[in-house]
Structures are given as C-alpha cells and as structure tokens.
Structure 1
Amino acid sequence: KLLKRAEHIFRKGVCCCRFLLCASGECVKVFSTSTEECIHDLRGHTELVTGVLLRPSNHLQVYSCSADGTVRLWDFTDGILIKTYVIGYPIYSIYASANHEGVIFLVTPAQSDKRSEMFQLVAVQLPQSGDQLVEARELSAVLSDVSSNPAAIVFGRGGEYIASANGLQLEVYFFKKQKAYRFPLKEDNKKGGKNTFMCVACHPKDDCIATGHEDGKIRLWRNFNHKKEYTYSTLHWHHSAVSSLCFTPEGTNLLSGGIESVLVQWRYNQESQRDFLPRLGAAITHIAVSPDGALFCTSHSDNSKDKNKFYSLQRDKLLYNLDIVQQEYIHESGLQQFEVVKAAFNASGNWLATVEERKQKAAELELNLKLWAYDEQTQSFVLNTTISAPHEAQITAMCFCHAADSQTTMLASTSKDGHFKAWQLAAQAHTEDEGPSWSCDFVGAYHDLVPECCCFSADGSLLAVSFQEVVTVWSPASWELLTTLSQPPGAIRDLCFGRLSCSKYLLGTSANNLLCCWNLLTCSLEWSTSMDVSLLLADPLSENMAAFCCQAGCTDLFVFKPSEPRPLFSRKEVCSGKVTRAVFAPREEMLESCEESSQWLNHSQLYFLTQYMDLMTFTTKAEEDRLMASSKQLVIDDSVAMTPFYLLLGKHRQQENQDSLGGMSAERTPLPQGSVAIRELLQTPAHVLPSTSYLCSMFVQSLLISAKDILSSSPTEQFYLSHSRL
C-alpha cells in the first residue's frame, strides 16, 4: 500500500514503477515510489482533474483530463506541459490503448447541456500540430449511456474491445466488428443480492472480464463475443459493494477492494486461493498496479475517522497513523463508530489530547478524552490517560496552556453541558512503574450559559472562556473570575490572545460578523470591525494574527497586528469555499525577507486546510526556488535504476573502497558460499543480468585470495560501474 488519501483529494492513480501519478484537485502530483516524496506537481488545469493516463506510445508522457474541458499531455519526469487539447465539454475519465494510435477515448455529457446526467464514450482523433494549444472538438460516439465512474470502463486484449458497466448492464464493443453485445442482469437475484454493476476489469491476455457488484460478488465473464452463449462464474468474499478491480500485468492475480478496508488478492483460475491485506483504515475506492507488478497502490474514501495522521509539512509526506480509538472497524448498516472529533498539542509537542465520541440512536452519547505522551524511543505517542465521560455532553473546544515556563501542564475543555473543566498533569509517581497521569483540577460555569470556546494567554496567567455573548476571564492560579467582557449581540465563535508586545489584547469573532479587540488592561473594547471571520489564529513567534473571511463562496486572508489599524498583508480569494483549519508552523531558520509584504512570513509559515481538503501555504520566491531545486534533485536521484546488476556492482565497489582505505593485509580468507556478492549473483534471475562475459571476471576475482589481483582489476570494474549508472 503506497498511499491513502481522501476521495476529494486523490482519484485513480497511475503507477509506472518508479513514479506514482495521482490526480489531486486541479493538479497531478508525481510521487517517487522509492522515497515516497512528492517530486513535483503538474499544474495547468483550472478545474478538478478527473483522470490520469500514461501515453501508450511513450511511457515518459502522461495525459490528464479535467472538468475544464481540456486534455493535457505532460512530460511528467521533468514536469513540462507538452500540449493542450481543447475538447469543449467537461471530461469525467480518459482511456487509450496501443492499438489506437493517436486516438483517446473520453467520457463526456451525452447532450450539449454540460450539466446532463447522461454520459457517452467518445473517440477523439488528436490533431498533429506543432502548436501547444490545439482544438480537438470532433468527437465520434462509441458507446451511449455509460457511467461517469472511471472504474466502470476498461480496454481488453490490448484494445481489441472495450467493456462498459452501467446499472444492471454490461456492454462490450468490438472495434473490428464495430458491434456491441449487451449482457443484462436482473435487479435482484433469488437470494436477495443486488446485481448492480460497480466496476469492471479485463484480463491482459485472456478473454475474461471481471465485474464487481453492489452485493459484494465478483463475476468472471467468458465467451462474451457471442450474445447468447456467454458464461460467467461468481466469486464472493466482500459483504458489501466491490468498488475497484484490477488484474496484475501478467494476469496471474485479481485484486479487489471495497468498504471492508481489505485488499483481496485472488489467484486467477484458482479462485479458492486468496490473500488478504486487512485493516487499511478506510474503504478502498481505487486500485492501481505498477507495470512490473511489484507495487500495489490503493486509494481510500476518507482519512480514517478513528485515527490521527501525522504529516510532514516540509516533505509533503504522511509520516504515520496513530490509532486513537483502538477498536476494530466494523461496517454494518446503522452501526455508529467512534470518531475522533478534537485534537490539540501542548507548546512543546510532547502531549497530545484527543476527544472521541459515538452517538447511537436511543442511547446516551459516549465520550472519551485521551491524553497521549510522546515517547522519544519509539518516536510516537503512547496513551497515558483515558478519561471516560469527561463531560455530560459534547465537547465544544479544548486547548493547552502554552506557557513555556509553566510548572504544570494544563488542558482546558468546554462542553454543551454548561461547564468548562481544567485538567492538570499530576506530579511524577513515587514508583518507577507508575508514570504521571491527568486529573480534573477545576470545574467552572457562568449563569447556566453554554461555553463555546476557550483560550490561554501566552504566559498562562489568564484563561478566557466564552459563554454565548459573554467572555469570561479566569485566573488559573486561583480559579477566580477576574472580569467579564461583552460586545454587541451575537455568540462568540472564536477567541485568541495577542502575543509578545500585543499580549494585552484579546480578540474574538462573533456570529453577527464582528471582529472585536478588547484591552485587558482597561477591560474595555479597543476596536471592532465588521468582518465575517470564519477562522482566527495567532502566530506564536510574533505579534501577527491571521483572519480568514468567507464571502461569495471564496475566502479572503488578512494578516494584522492588534495594535495597528492597517493590515500587514491581505489577499482576496486565496481559495474556494471556507478554511476549516489553519496553523502557524515555526521555521527552523528565520527568513530575512526585505520585502514588507512578506516580512510576516519570517518567523512562521502559514498553512491552511480548505473544506475541499486542499492543504495550502504561502511561500516566498526564494523558498519556491529552493523547493524547485530540491525536486529536480529528487528526480535525478530517482533516475538511477536500482537493478540487481547495479546493486551487485555497487556493493562490490563499496567493499573494494573499504579494502583500499583500510590497508588490508595481502592475504584474506575466501568468500563463503553464503556471502552477499555470491548470493546476489546466484539468486538474481538470468534474464535481468548482463552477459556472462561481463560478470565472469568480477565473480572470479571475488573468490581470489590475493589482494593485488583485486586492485589490478579496478580500472575494468570502474568502467562497468560507471556504465551501469548511465
């Protein structure tokens, strides 16, 4: 399993041994399968990318199609756009085969109305033109009434025919005959199973079509070149719909996946033999196999609601998953699962708090608050304390005290039960077996109002808790209510203390589209402005604050200091939809930007997540140039093929260098039969090795006793090694 991503982010991927290409929003991401690094993005489409396809005649080039009505041809190793074909209609998937040179097949709306829910498969002859932008509006209909699902259409036998599954009908079109055969199924079988087609795959060598169905069955169709004499056999393991099918390149295995989060491998013609890769975290939506059959890639429906994902912002890479719920996921209609709904880190990052909840019909809310301690040895978080039913109703917010010099670690939580609670880390236990644990230190309320959000000041001396339209300020040292702040009518949605020289300010957003700033020294409203702020956050290393405002379906960004009336930076329409989460990530090295518009990025980098699951950030031009150079280096490193011959020569060369530097004695013992060099040579398949004449001298020399003979052969081996790297 290479990747697991949300359906809105990653659609069907393409594997080409060394690279994995995935449609991601409006671009195509190119990943290295060896390092898992994102090498670069292929950008140019203006709407959602709906398909990615390797060009049959050149596997260093790839087609991408989009809802913007264009097909683009890329050199994906260098990230260069070669050509853009303008189709003129939204495109939902793309197909091609080596038998149809210069022709691609697209799924488009069946009528001139681009919003039509009827779809057709059309053939497009790509014009031969030297221009980069080419009109290709002549479409030839191949099949009508097809599915827009990319997994429902596939070529068979290298392009001799194409199979399409839609609803209760399988249709096979033969290009030479120019004839289509249709094979319908009844809606329900005798056992009550639902026969609706979900996906289709064709065997690469045999005339066999595999179809996945809504009831979990897989049918293998044969003899389908006759309308009435066709046959099919049935495989059944999945208890719900089969969402994706894929044959391995040699056709020896069939892969299937569905809502069970299990990748199933069926032996072709020995279907009773199956292999399973379970607990993949979420329902499988797509499966792709590399051309050499060595790698399988699965795409999943969501980001696993029972787990937390740890993601490297610098490397654009998923690091690992942390199982929060620690229960087996059971898919059953009407059965509710525990979901992680809240998470927070403390300032040092060595404590993680999570909230999980489950609401069953006609049952009370199940709620767990868990505290996780970071383990330096395992480089992961370990469960420290579980608090069952920390509140009597849903938790609305929680936050850690981020004071660096605080003697105790504290967590605050607010709930719809009308209370906020402070949780404190107890002192180290007397025995070595008992570690520190968490307990409730204080329970607070205010006039039976419901608290919505909370926030600690930078030094930890104040805790602000909003109760609908009222902001209360408490002292964590004595839990005394210090003051209350009010503003024009409207529930408080967010609270945020100022930092450094602006620490005397407390900012809040309200449901009636107001951004308010209170001066805590005078306990009065300093200023307010009319803004529909969906998210407010502060940079922990500067006085800067960021406000995301959503209007007309887009989000605007304002960066400002509470003490200054003029924003430091503003940008209209930074993304579509709302921003759901954002964070200022401290930099390892401070930037020295001279431009006034980008100085707010010197200490921290702003990352934000949209409602469409797009992770976005702001960078300076210098950072962008550095990232481009790093991406090019990744491509260069990945271009060196790790063949068995390369590994064998590389190990031998490395051993030779160590011998020459270490001043080996003139005599040494012969290599045993189980040595690495001999084992690599004997176990490597002969068809991937060079001729025996090339390997003979090196192999014999590895068995010699005299070190002089080894050194005398080094120029020849130098040539072989250099040649293998070209």
Structure 2
Amino acid sequence: MIVGGQSLVTSPPVFSHDGKKLLVCTGCTVSVFSTTTGMLITELEGHTERVTSIVVVPVVGKVGTKFSYYCWTASLDGMIFYWDFSTPDLFKKVNVHLPVHSMVIPNILSASLGSTNKASQNLYAFLSVEDANRKVENVKHLCGLIQIYDLTNSTNVGSVLAETHKPETLAVSKSGEFVGIKKNKQLNIWRVPNKNLKSVNMKKLKLHHTRTLSCLAFHPTKRIVAAGDVSGRILIWKGFGKTRYSQDGGGKMKIDRGDMPGVIDRDDADSCSTWHWHSSEIKFLMFSSDESYLFSGAKEGVIVVWQLDTGNKNYKPNMGSPLMYFTDSPDPSLSCISCEDNEIHVLRMPSMDIIKSISGIKPPLVLPELQGDQSCVTIGCDRSNGFVALPTKDYRVQFFSLLDGTDISHLQVIERNYDPVEETTVYVSLVEVSDDGSMMCTVEEKLPEMGIGGLISLKFWARGSHTGQYTLSTVIYEPHNNAGVSDVAFCPGRSMAVSTSYCGNFKVWVNNFSSIHSGDEIPEKGGWRCQSVSSYKGIPMTAAAFSGDGSVLAVAAQTVITLWDPLNNVLVAAIGDSLGPIRQLSFVGSSEYIVSFSAGTKADLVVWNISNLCMHWSYKLLVEDICCTRSGTRFAVLALLSPLDKSISTGKDGIVLVFDVENPIPVSSWFVKKAKGGRLNFINNKLGEATDGKLLLAYINGEHEYILFDPSDVKEGEDYIPRAARRPQSHAHDENVSHGYASIYGELPSFDLTKARSSDNIPFVPSERPWETIFSGSSHALPPLSKLCSPFLESLLEKAEKQTVLSQ
C-alpha cells in the first residue's frame, strides 16, 4: 500500500539551525526537504496520527556533526518524539495521553546537553491539548487545555494554565521569555521564569480587543506583541507587562494609567496602535530578523511589510493563493511562505523572490451551493502514466503523479486572472482523459448573476510532446444549449467522445481532419465537430460509457440504460429500470457486463448482463464511485458506511470493495477514511516493485489524499505496510552550492595521470607529442595562454641531454 497526497500546510514548517533543511508536517510523518534543491531528503515515520508541531533543537555541537540535527515533534496521537533527523533515528518517546494540537519549548535555548547543572537540563514544553472527556451537552464546554510538561522526566508540571473552547495555537518569543495564545477577543500571555517552573507561580497577562483575534507574534527582543483579528486589523501593544501601581484615595493599589494611548480598559501596556490594510482575517504575523519590520498575510495572497517606527507599508503581491504561514530561518537570507493551495515557497530575503517551491496535490475545489447534481466536480485520470488531472481554484488543471507523489505540470484552462478574495463564479467542473492520455476534455461553467449570464464551455485538448502538456484543439460554447454537461466519455481506439446533458440529449463528437488545397501547399485543419445528436423520450441523460472495443455506447437516461451504435446513431436496446437515477456507468473489461450505481434514498449497485438485457446481481449500497479494468473481469467500488457502523468510531467512514463480475462476494476489501467525495481508478504499475503489467487501484479521498492498493492481494488493507509515494532523492541531501566558474560550467574533471595515457575518452591527455593535443578540448576548459605559451615553445625545441662536468 502506497500513501500520498498529504497536506504540506496543516502546520507551519520549521527550518534547521543552518537553514539548509526544511521540516514539514505531512500527515503522520515529518518530511525533510532541502532548501537548495527543493527535493525530499528523508522522512521521520513513527506517529500514528497527524503531526502538529516541530521544534528544532539549536546547535549544541560543531556545525555539520550529527549532534546538530535534533528536533522534537508532537502529534494528535498524544506522543512527543525526540529525533535525530539527519540519520534519521528516534531517541525518545513521551506519552502525554492527550492529543497535542500545539507545542512550544521556551527554555530550549538555555538547555544544554553538556551542562553539569541538572536543573538546566530539564526541558519544559508548553502544550495545547484536547480533552474529549470534557465535552458535555452544555454548549459552553471547555475541551482545550494549556499545560506544562517536563520532557526530561515525562511528568506534568503544576496545574492547567488556561481552558479554552477549542485547542489554541501557542506562540513563543525567540528568547523564550514569553508564551501566549489568542482566546476569543483577548490575548493571554505568560512570562516564563528561569527557575522553579511551576504553573501556579506564572502570572497571566490579558490584553483585550473589540473583535475576535486570529493570530499573534512576539517581538524578538522588545516587549512588543502584535495580534491580528478576523476583520483584517493589526494591533501593536508596546511595553506590555510593565505594571505601574499607585494608591487611590481609599489606600487601595491600582494601575497607574498615565498616558497610555489606545489601551483598552485596565490592560497592562504602554500603548496600543491599530493598522489596517487587509480585507479578510489575518493568517500570520512575524517580525523581521532585523527587528524593524512586521510581515502580515491573509486571503488576498499579498505579503504586507510594515515599518514598525512609522507604520509605512510595502507589498509583495502575486503569490497566487491565500497565505497561511510565514516562517523565518536562522539564515537571515532565507524564509518560506506556506499557501493554501498546498504549496511552500522558499524566499530569498529581503527581496522575497521565490527561489524554490515544494508542491503537493491541490486541495478540492469548493463550489457554492447549486441545484441538482451540477455542483459536483469530476477529476480525470491517465491510466497509462499513473497521474490524475484535478481542477484547481485558479482556473487550472493540475497534473499530479500518484506513483511518484510529485507535481508534473499545470494547464491554464480559463484565461482569467485569479483573485482569492472574489467568490467563485467560474470554475472547471469536469476533466476527462482518454485511456492512452492522448486526448483530454474539460467543461467549464460560469455561474449566472441574478439569473442572467450563465455560460458552459466544452473544450477538447491534444497531448503535446511532454507528459502533462496539452494544447487547446476546439472550444464549443453551450454544447447542450443552456443545460449543464453531466458526463463525458472517450471512445477507446478512436478520436470520438460523447457528452451527456440534463436537457435530455447526448452528442457524439469526432475529431475531423480535412485538407484545404491552396496552390502547391496542402495545409491541414483539425477540430472536433458534432457527428450526431440523440435522446430517449426526452429524459435527462446522466452518464455514459463506451465498451472496450468502442462498438457499443451505453447512456443512462435516469433509471434506464440505453445501448447505442455510436457510428450509425442507432438505438440497439434498453435495459429495465433501476431503483434510482443512475450516476455512473462502466463496462467491465471486454466482458458482456455493465456496472452502474444510483444515489439518494434508493441507492444501489447493479451489474447488468447486456447479452440477456437483464440484471445479473445487485447490492443495496450507498456508492460514491466505481471503476473497471480495461481487460479482465474485475471492478472496484467505493461505498459509504452507515453511521451506525463500528468503523466510523475509528474515522474510517468508507470501504473499497473489489469484485469479480461473476461473483457477488468481494475478492478483497479495505476500510478507508474521508470517503465522501472520493474517487477510484486503476492505473498501470511502473514502480518496478511488482510483476510486469500488474495494475494498482488508486483511491483518492475527499481531501485529495490517496492510497494505492494491490487489487490482486486478497488480504485486508490493515495488513499492508504503508509507504510514502514521494520518495527521498539520493542526491537531495547535497547542500554544496556552486559558485563562480563551477556554477556556470560545472566542476572541472580530475585526471589520474597514471590512467590517462590508456584512456580514449579524455580529450586532453599529456603525451610524448604535446604539440598535437595541447590545444584540444573546449575553450572554457583550457588554461590561459600565459600558461600554454611556455609548454608550446618548449615542445618545439629539442631537449639537450645534461652533461656532467667533473672538476679536476
């Protein structure tokens, strides 16, 4: 079983102490990437649930030694691990017995492995955990807890620092002096003592705001804290925690307000200022390494650079996606930005130019509520190459390799600039790729405004010279009048496709090539045209499929399956009613069977025999997707489990079943997670790890995470050992950067003079006749003329033998 597609941006990444590696939370693992090459170096595997936090240990030995690459990781499985991520090796496990949503270690800078003081060796972690036992019927339950944990002795320290409605993200200052969280409309800040770390001794400071806060950040050295709210405002509190008391008339102590502009109520701060540019919720705030600027980001995809002294701002626009995290590096010339489209960009500071990008599979396209079945988005799959074609928010189609777990290319389908702030009004609703990958079809829809202005376009694409490269062939506006396109299918072995519509007809499209004679030149024109239009009693057509040899076309007219001769546009037969409207059809290999499924209250899975025009067998299942092999008699089904099923408690809400068409008993099965909106398909195995020609079954869940199964194995899915699809590169760990001559031409080869004379592959070899080879080779590889001149002149002169003169 091969897993992949995990999100790269569920938690902020962390740089290694030298800035050469980037540690990224990817599901249950931690992926270590090279910031120089952008390739995967290694993975830290051991957690059983999603990793939420990474804390890199600062340098405690010489740079470059194995003692320089330690880190702590926390996960929702309630475990905290201590790693050497250069090896990688797991050194320590700490069980806190509660899911950890966030972790910071303030005193990690002062703790030293070589210290003789036992107290200074203890590491104390601030944890944001979730206690599910606190969830009661009361709406105001507090299940989020802020605790202190002694990582050295694996024990809790003191009592709970704070209780929240949900687990909050912790923030810590670079010096480790302050730790804070945002809690609704206020900030809670604790000052971490150097000694005797007990939670009961830690005083909590509160700073208030009139709107709900979304993030916070501490200044590296000064008592300045910044917070962003859901309306796009940024608040800067200066001099917080410097309480000044005075006596009132009754002799009681009170805070000396003095001149504290912008400070609300009795907040302990010298001043509070507000900046506003963003129009949406602030996602991140970070102070620059030179302590002069503040970086902010939100949904607009723009990094705003604020000057702390003046409040002036500058911009780094066109990041192409809503922003999530901004991470600085110990190397002041590097930083990285995490985007909502599952992409991390490594930036060169201070210009913030993108030097490398780490891309994952794009998240699902979220559409506004529409009527009927037109709100679903269909993704395509190239079975021959093992990659999927997914519509993205920026009006593109991403081609992603399931076998390698890498991003291949992006195709601009709609010529329109993407604005993350605007609502989705135009989107790619369907992508279909032919079996051999030579042709592709896309359907794009423009939503009407006030019931006016809707548009549907059908586009055909031809594959280029490279994998994942397609060129536009034909654009057809309103292919079915004003009705939506429900399905598109390509005919195997022919340049033919069929599109079905909710308006009650389907159209057969062919790729027409004609020659136009113009003098001696014969230019070729090619394009797709409509060959025929058919309907069945005016019933909406919901699905279509071609047989393996392309001789039969099956079209679903709601509950009826109609069989057609696609070349002559003749109705051959119709198969009896199904229980509900058919959502998908597929021929099982080259057999005489068709498998279909219906959704809704009358959901069922039916196998039809087209020779007898009758039902072969059926199941009462809530099916999400089906796929069939192009040869053989097997097909796979993705079904949703009932909420009463025991597997739901483990998070597995779906099941993948593999059937042989002759037998209603499944050949193999696997329980899966996030089955709603999932997809199935068979792809060719090109990994070289199995028998030649063996197929793999690809399951893509509703969040675009995927698993590749071996459908021929009858064992349960839990018996497999999962392996990541994105494999480490053998040369990815090489962090040496070339400069000067080597960066342009590469390193000069080193010659072994003892073997050079017998080698015929070296262009310049010292010999007894140097004048014949001294100027051979590339010009950039030759020494300068000042060094060539002397050997050349010496080669033209005869060397006299040395005579020994004996003095008498």
Q: TM-score, structure 1 length as denominator?
A: 0.78
- Verify the 8 A CA contact 1:470 1:485 in the aligned structure 2: yes
- Verify the 8 A CA contact 1:555 1:579 in the aligned structure 2: no
Look up the match of 1:106: 127
Q: 1:19 to 1:8 in 2, by over 3 A?
A: closer
- Residue 76 (1) aligns with residue 115 (2): no
Look up the match of 1:448: 538
- Verify the 8 A CA contact 2:588 2:632 in the aligned structure 1: no
For 2:501 and 2:32, locate their aligned partners in 1 and report how far apart those are by CA, in whole Å: 43
- Verify the 8 A CA contact 1:86 1:136 in the aligned structure 2: no
For 2:450 and 2:93, locate their aligned partners in 1 and report how far apart those are by CA, in whole Å: 56
Look up the match of 2:233: 217
Q: RMSD of aligned C-alpha atoms?
A: 4.0
- Residue 126 (1) aligns with residue 151 (2): yes
- Residue 175 (1) aligns with residue 192 (2): yes
The 3-state SS of whatever aligns with 1:606 is strand
Displacement of 1:251 in angstroms is 4.3
For 1:157 and 1:379, locate their aligned partners in 2 and report how far apart those are by CA, in whole Å: 44
The 3-state SS of whatever aligns with 1:705 is helix
Q: What is the correspondence of 1:633-652 to structure 2 with a 5 Å cutoff?
A: 634=729, 637-643=731-737
The one-letter code sitting in structure 2 at the alignment partner of 1:413 is: S
Displacement of 1:531 in angstroms is 4.1
Displacement of 1:484 in angstroms is 0.3
> Of the two, which has the highest radius of gyration?
2
Look up the match of 2:433: 345
- Verify the 8 A CA contact 1:555 1:577 in the aligned structure 2: yes
The 3-state SS of whatever aligns with 1:654 is coil
For 1:349 and 1:185, locate their aligned partners in 2 and report how far apart those are by CA, in whole Å: 56
For 1:653 and 1:29, locate their aligned partners in 2 and report how far apart those are by CA, in whole Å: 30
Aligned partner of 2:397 among 285, 304, 308 = 308
Displacement of 1:95 in angstroms is 1.2
1:521-553, Cα deviation, whole Å (9 max, x unpaired): 333333334444332101235443212232234
Q: What is the correspondence of 1:237-248 to structure 2 with a 5 Å cutoff?
A: 237-248=277-288
The 3-state SS of whatever aligns with 1:436 is strand
- Verify the 8 A CA contact 1:312 1:319 in the aligned structure 2: yes
Q: 1:627 to 1:112 in 2, by over 3 A?
A: closer
Look up the match of 1:328: 417
Further displaced range: 305-314 or 109-118 = 109-118
- Residue 49 (1) aligns with residue 51 (2): yes
Look up the match of 1:663: 764
- Verify the 8 A CA contact 1:109 1:117 in the aligned structure 2: no
The 3-state SS of whatever aligns with 2:12 is strand
Further displaced range: 384-393 or 429-438 = 429-438
The percent of aligned pairs where both chains have the same amino acid is 23
Look up the match of 1:283: 322
- Verify the 8 A CA contact 1:18 1:638 in the aligned structure 2: no
- Structure 1: segments with no counterpart, 5+ residues: 129-134, 188-195, 594-600, 678-700, 710-726
Look up the match of 1:609: 700
1:10-50, Cα deviation, whole Å (9 max, x unpaired): 33222333433333333333334444444554444343333
Look up the match of 2:506: 420
For 1:270 and 1:414, locate their aligned partners in 2 and report how far apart those are by CA, in whole Å: 61
1:303-323, Cα deviation, whole Å (9 max, x unpaired): 542322111223211223222
Aligned partner of 2:668 among 561, 570, 577 = 570
The 3-state SS of whatever aligns with 2:748 is helix
Aligned partner of 1:386 among 475, 479, 495 = 475
Look up the match of 2:678: 580
Look up the match of 2:549: 459
- Verify the 8 A CA contact 1:354 1:371 in the aligned structure 2: yes
Q: 1:646 to 1:314 in 2, by over 3 A?
A: farther
More helix as a share of residues: 1
Look up the match of 1:20: 22
The 3-state SS of whatever aligns with 1:540 is coil
- Residue 141 (1) aligns with residue 141 (2): no
For 2:785 and 2:293, locate their aligned partners in 1 and report how far apart those are by CA, in whole Å: 41
Q: May I ask how many residue pairs the two structures share in their alignment? A: 643
Look up the match of 2:586: 496
1:451-471, Cα deviation, whole Å (9 max, x unpaired): 221111111111111112110
For 2:567 and 2:411, locate their aligned partners in 1 and report how far apart those are by CA, in whole Å: 34
For 1:482 and 1:80, locate their aligned partners in 2 and report how far apart those are by CA, in whole Å: 65
- Verify the 8 A CA contact 2:307 2:313 in the aligned structure 1: yes
- Verify the 8 A CA contact 1:36 1:317 in the aligned structure 2: no
- Verify the 8 A CA contact 1:165 1:198 in the aligned structure 2: yes
The one of the two structures with greater contact order (alpha-carbon pairs below 8 A, sep at least 6) is 2
Further displaced range: 44-53 or 653-662 = 653-662
Aligned partner of 1:528 among 615, 618, 631 = 618
- Verify the 8 A CA contact 1:415 1:451 in the aligned structure 2: yes
For 2:78 and 2:569, locate their aligned partners in 1 and report how far apart those are by CA, in whole Å: 61
- Residue 519 (1) aligns with residue 609 (2): yes
- Structure 2: segments with no counterpart, 5+ residues: 60-66, 112-122, 194-200, 244-267, 342-362, 365-391, 714-719, 757-761, 792-808
1:466-505, Cα deviation, whole Å (9 max, x unpaired): 11211001111011111001155332232111214x2x22
For 2:475 and 2:224, locate their aligned partners in 1 and report how far apart those are by CA, in whole Å: 53
Q: 1:515 to 1:649 in 2, by over 3 A?
A: closer
Look up the match of 1:510: 598
For 2:8 and 2:39, locate their aligned partners in 1 and report how far apart those are by CA, in whole Å: 20
- Verify the 8 A CA contact 1:591 1:602 in the aligned structure 2: no
For 1:259 and 1:676, locate their aligned partners in 2 and report how far apart those are by CA, in whole Å: 51
Look up the match of 1:685: none
- Verify the 8 A CA contact 1:287 1:299 in the aligned structure 2: no
The one-letter code sitting in structure 1 at the alignment partner of 2:595 is: L
Q: 1:541 to 1:604 in 2, by over 3 A?
A: farther
For 2:284 and 2:725, locate their aligned partners in 1 and report how far apart those are by CA, in whole Å: 37
Q: 1:274 to 1:561 in 2, by over 3 A?
A: same
Q: 1:50 to 1:626 in 2, by over 3 A?
A: closer
The one-letter code sitting in structure 1 at the alignment partner of 2:462 is: A
